[in-house]
Structure 1
Amino acid sequence: MSHSPVHRAGDAPVKVHLEAGQTYAWCACGRSASQPFCDGSHQGTGLDPIVFTAEKDGDVWLCMCKQTSGPPLCDGSHKN
């Protein structure tokens, strides 16, 4: 099954503070108005958010270009 194209939501990662045990939904389609998190804008695209639970409290850099090979974390793909 094919899906709609992924939209680039930014040209650099965004630093966010995560709380241990909290579940987050990272926007994988680039359409969310709540970047870098999902707001349901992917409905009907064939794309789903990446749902994850933070293992510890702390700051992380989440991908905004949506090209990372290790979602939801930035791997520097935006530089290519």
Structure 2
Amino acid sequence: YMRGFWWTGRDVTVSPTAVATEFDPPLPLPADTEFTPTVMRTLVKHRSLFKIITPINADALEWLLEEHPNQVFVRSVLCVLR
């Protein structure tokens, strides 16, 4: 069933995950209905409660991916990270 899927006896030089990003659809964004005035006021008023920390430098990632063939996907990832 999975014979040869990963262990083909030769070096794998391309990540299957990296290749998939060339064809993946953009990441979904929250629906507009999620951004109610109450939600937005709460987010602004209590920023410290919603601090999101990521080790990913979105600006550096954007620079690295500026020639990626699936820019729609790249922009969606960057939007989520920012």
After TM superposition, the score normalised by the length of structure 1 is 0.21
| Larger RCO (alpha carbons 8 Å, 6+ apart) | 2
Bigger radius of gyration:
2
More strand, by proportion: 1
After TM superposition, the score normalised by the length of structure 2 is 0.20
More helix, by proportion: 2
